[in-house]
A and B are shown apart, each in its own frame.
Chain A
Amino acid sequence: MGRRDDASGFLPLHPMEFRILLALLDGPSYGTAIVEEIEAREGPGARLYPANVFRRMRDLIAKGLLEPCTGPEGADPRRGYLRLSRSGRAVARAEARRMQGLVEEATTRRLLPGG
């Protein structure tokens, strides 16, 4: 319970922050790759404003949700790799639960089919 309470202090996340956390679920990555991954998931033609994305990444680091790490074998050592911290993963999960709750409510109120 304690951990969930820690995480809820960060909620709701800004959609872009949530996107960033999701992009790092599969393992460490670096700035350019994260932006391109999010753009690819948004669909063709999507173009993020990278400086603003990086601003949020820096803030996520400051909040302790992301942490710098070393890259995989053979990666360019000059690249600053980032990964999810334990609390980052917890916050992402809490945000996903929060959204799931909203979706369930929308379904029982018949906004979405299936209720």
Chain B
Amino acid sequence: MSVTSVPALQHTDRGPLSRDEMAQALARDIPRGAYVNLGIGQPTTVADHLPPESGVIFHTENGMLGMGPAATGDAIDPDLINAGKLPVTELPGASYFHHADSFAMMRGGHLDLCVLGAYQVSAAGDLANWHTGDPEAIPAVGGAMDLAVGAKQVFVLMSLFTKSGESKLVEACTYPITALHCVDRVYTDVATFDLTTGEAVGVRETWGISFDELSARLDVPLTWAGS
């Protein structure tokens, strides 16, 4: 399929997606009724676009299914927090369980999908999101490795370029790896990528940049997803 035949997927009449629009774009692709874990930080904002009527059930690594929105005011309960250690609420039908069970749900392949941030993602789906590799940095992994290997699908939500303009979608990760061959899709401000298409990285949609411009800026071969 030639680039010009898919103008609907190539939004060059506007700028890149805002952070909120990125979360919205990802949320649209989450199947109704899925069991979903949202990572700390920007991935958490995906929940803003998945109301209870979406049927999506949120898992939090610290031992809960059926997590509701952030708690405010009188609803704040110090015994009820999310993975980012912020107060949350429980929805009808929620359940609590201990940490070994919580991670068995991930590792055992029971969780449909997780959304994670990333420093880098490779064309082969390797994920780097836990350590910058800086010898001065204090390493901290949390649940990232377990989520990445365990969830049936891994969606990454990140800006495509660093502040200095380097692509975070790379041929091979230079940051320490979180897990190999685990990322299925990458949702960024300028494009959505499908890493399950084979040799080349599939582009599903672009914003504020054409497919050809995008190809010129990345070191990985691209193709239109589904072409």
Check if A and B associate.
no
Q: Which residues of A contact B (CB under 8 A)?
A: none
Q: Which residues of B contact A (CB under 8 A)?
A: none
